[in-house]
Structure 1
């Protein structure tokens, strides 16, 4: 028989599981091939190799990206990631995963974080709030029941480049807001917390949602 036509019966989605593989970097050394007997010390050069995301660590950039994705996008803590990485053939502890996150954040994300603050203070209108949370082992020695704060400063909804800036601190002191808002000139929309008062070049704007609570 010969083909006289065709038609699409159905479409099917297929899944290809992720896999791990080892990438080995080799640096070759080269020596001068000249035959000049007068040259006692012949020059030697080594080829440059790409720097690792974390020095003296076997974690590649793609592995680090996946650790961040699982923790912050999928909300999978490090201790639960351990078994998932083991299925791929990578034996790693939750302590190591945590260290990867901390080191990568300081080395690669901190410059972006600081740039976000620079962009934030260029705005003319900002929103601010601070949320309480607790830390088990505090650096100041206070009990775990003490309240720490996550400060949030963000641009307005229609900003050309929206920025949501989070800052974790042990206190709710006015000095924290003053430091973060250094260089900002404009209106600050907040809940009336006294710590925002009298900050240079900042005009406070009340929140209607908080005003409404006094009546309803």
Structure 2
């Protein structure tokens, strides 16, 4: 907005640094959400590029949400490379 040119690599580094610093907060939110008696869940298949192979394979992005009746309103997301049961647990 100020008309400053900021390199895409710099913006990416800033975003990554924010993600690392917010990770403890995300972990705490995840623990609280997963302790709810009832959750809504959605699994969406996404294409993931296999490093070094130039091919994609199917991975999954899951969303877990509290219900409309819960005092806590939150959604957490989880990425998994397969549909193995260990990921849902």
| TM-score for the superposition, normalised by structure 1 | 0.37
* 2:44 counterpart of 1:131: yes
Q: Which runs of 4+ in 1 moved over 6 A?
A: none
Q: Which residue of 2 aligns with 1:105?
A: 19
Describe the shift of the 1:120–1:140 C-alpha distance in structure 2 as closer, same or farther (beyond 3 A). farther
Where do 5+ consecutive residues of structure 2 fail to align? none
Correspondences of 1:1-216 after superposition (within 5 Å): 19=2, 87=3, 89=4, 91-107=5-21, 109-136=22-49, 138-139=50-51, 143-144=55-56, 146-178=57-89
C-alpha offsets along residues 79-110 of structure 1, whole Å, 9 cap, x if unaligned?
xxxxxxxx2x3x32112211211121111x21
- Does the residue aligned with 1:153 lie in a helix, a strand or coil? strand
| TM-score for the superposition, normalised by structure 2 | 0.83
Describe the shift of the 1:168–1:141 C-alpha distance in structure 2 as closer, same or farther (beyond 3 A). farther
CA separation in 1, counterparts of 2:54 and 2:84?
Answer: 16
Q: Using the TM superposition, give the Cα deviation of residue 135 of structure 1 relative to its aligned residue in structure 2, in angstroms.
A: 2.5
CA separation in 1, counterparts of 2:79 and 2:67?
Answer: 21
Q: Whose strand fraction is larger, Structure 1's or Structure 2's?
A: 2
Q: Using the TM superposition, give the Cα deviation of residue 156 of structure 1 relative to its aligned residue in structure 2, in angstroms.
A: 0.8
Could you say which structure has the larger radius of gyration? Answer: 1
- Does the residue aligned with 2:28 lie in a helix, a strand or coil? helix
- Does the residue aligned with 1:125 lie in a helix, a strand or coil? coil
Q: Using the TM superposition, give the Cα deviation of residue 143 of structure 1 relative to its aligned residue in structure 2, in angstroms.
A: 2.1
Q: Whose helix fraction is larger, Structure 1's or Structure 2's?
A: 2
C-alpha offsets along residues 113-151 of structure 1, whole Å, 9 cap, x if unaligned?
111111112211111121011123x3595822x111101
- Does the residue aligned with 1:159 lie in a helix, a strand or coil? coil
